[in-house]
């Protein structure tokens, strides 16, 4: 009997907390839809994550959350749209911040039309996508040692692909090249799909990609996983060693995802949105979906998200300068 009453009491407290949050959310946000801008095509990794979060936020906030794909210019079109939006919490950016930071550092803030760490207020860091190196099965490369040996035997002839100059794959692989002291050939493509097609065909020897993309393409049997650039092994690739285990301890990189609001968005609005996002990330169904996609869910405060974004900006600016990639 006591246990029954306790369970009812807990359920009542959860209901009261939920109602209190909804009332607080309604006080901070106007009673109108929220637009979550995804600056990349529908169906891609950023879009999938954005739609998962939008559904959860809508349930938590009791407001409609609409995903709006504004693709183009490597995400710059969508970022510029959100930058110019009213800072009221009703226009947000689903941001692969690593990609945005790299584009800005490569091309300059004036060229891309934003300064990611200055023109936006981070609401929350929401996920990390560890980066995985894939090699063409035809290359005979199955480990970092294999790749290093082949590159040293054929300096400047072992080719890697990327989705374009200044892309995440490009800069991360150049960072890898610098750390490993290897001479490699960069082959830029117009997107990751054609690069992956040539990797399948053996036209290029390897490329770096996100864990969800790696998971999908390994099923083809035409590529092999060389290593993961994470501090520890991933549950979805339990037999795949990290690069640290293979002798390259500094090669740790991930694609970080965050939700950003325009600069000037009030603190109470940021706090309300942050709570809704964190509660969404706590949902077991969301955790399972993220895990299936190879994404590590990240819970954060707005301050932690801000610090993470600034650290990303500082890190990749130094990397771009160090590897001397042409701006």
What is the predicted pLDDT for the residue at 215? 87
- Written as six digits, the tokens of 268 are 């109470």
**What was the pLDDT predicted at 166?**
82
CB 172 within 8 A of CB 106: no
Instruction: Check pLDDT > 90 for residue 26.
Output: no
Average pLDDT rounded to a whole number, residues 290-303: 92
pLDDT at res. 186 = 96
The token pair that represents 288 in the structure block: 């399972």
pLDDT of 8 above 90: no
Using CA atoms, how far apart are residues 293 and 216, in angstroms rounded to an integer?
A: 9
What spatial distance separates the first Cα and last Cα of the chain, rounded to whole Å? 71
Does 157 have pLDDT greater than 70? yes
Superfamily of domain 130-228: Periplasmic binding protein-like II (3.40.190.10)
CA dist., res. 174 & res. 126, Å (int): 27
Q: Which residues pair with residue 27 across a beta bridge?
A: none
Per-residue confidence band for 327, with pLDDT thresholds at 50, 70 and 90: very low
Would you say the CATH fold of 130-228 matches that of 2-129+256-323? Answer: yes
May I ask the CATH architecture of the domain 2-129+256-323?
3-Layer(aba) Sandwich (3.40)
Tokens of 124: 């929350």
Lowest mean pLDDT among 45-59, 160-174, 277-291: 160-174
Write out pLDDT tens, residues 88-97. 999 999 999 9
pTM of the complete model = 0.83
- Structural domain boundaries of the chain? 2-129+256-323, 130-228
Query: Average pLDDT of the chain?
Result: 90
How far is the C-alpha of 103 from the C-alpha of 96, rounded, in Å?
11
Query: Largest alpha-carbon pair distance within the chain?
Result: 76
* Tens digit of each residue's pLDDT (9 = 90 or more) over 159-169: 999 988 888 99
Give pLDDT, residue 190: 85
Quote the pLDDT of residue 306. 98
The confidence score (pLDDT) of residue 326 equals: 44
Residue 55 has pLDDT above 70, yes or no: yes
The b-or-e profile of 124-161 (16+ CB within 10 A means b, else e) is: bbbbbbbbbbbbbbebebebbebbbebbeeeeeebbbb
Average pLDDT over residues 61-86: 95
Q: What per-residue confidence (pLDDT) applies to 324? A: 60
Which pLDDT does position 110 carry in this prediction? 94
Kindly give the interhelix angle for 267-282 and 2-28, rounded to the nearest 10 degrees.
140
Nearest to 45 by CA among 227, 240, 223, 255: 255
């Amino acid at each position: 009997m006591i246990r029954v009453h306790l369970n009812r009491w807990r359920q009542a407290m959860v209901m009261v907390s939920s109602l209190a949050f909804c009332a607080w959310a309604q006080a901070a946000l106007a009673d109108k839809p929220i637009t979550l801008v995804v600056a990349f095509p529908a169906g891609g990794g950023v879009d999938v994550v954005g739609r998962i979060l939008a559904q959860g936020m809508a349930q938590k906030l009791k407001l409609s959350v609409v995903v709006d794909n504004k693709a183009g210019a490597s995400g710059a079109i969508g970022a510029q749209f959100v930058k110019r939006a009213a800072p009221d919490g009703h226009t947000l950016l689903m941001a692969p911040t690593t990609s945005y930071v790299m584009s800005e550092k490569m091309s300059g803030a004036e060229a891309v039309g934003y300064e990611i760490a200055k023109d936006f207020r981070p609401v929350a860091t929401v996920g990390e996508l560890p980066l995985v190196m894939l090699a063409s099965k035809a290359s005979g490369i199955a480990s970092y040692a294999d790749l290093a040996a082949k590159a040293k035997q054929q300096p400047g002839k072992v080719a890697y692909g990327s989705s374009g100059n200044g892309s995440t794959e490009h800069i991360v692989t150049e960072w890898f090249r610098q750390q490993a002291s290897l001479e490699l050939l960069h082959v830029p493509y117009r997107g990751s799909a054609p690069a992956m097609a040539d990797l399948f065909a053996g036209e290029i020897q390897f490329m770096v990609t996100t864990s969800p993309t790696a998971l999908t393409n390994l099923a083809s049997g035409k590529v092999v996983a060389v290593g993961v650039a994470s501090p520890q092994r991933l549950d979805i690739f339990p037999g795949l060693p990290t690069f640290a285990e293979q002798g390259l301890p500094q090669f740790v990189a991930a694609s970080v995802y965050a939700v950003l609001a325009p600069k000037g968005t009030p603190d109470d609005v940021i706090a309300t949105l942050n709570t809704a996002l964190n509660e969404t990330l706590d949902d077991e169904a969301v955790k399972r979906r993220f895990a299936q996609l190879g994404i590590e869910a990240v819970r954060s405060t707005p301050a932690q998200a801000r610090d993470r974004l600034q650290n990303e900006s500082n890190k990749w600016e130094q990397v771009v300068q160090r590897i001397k990639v042409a701006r």
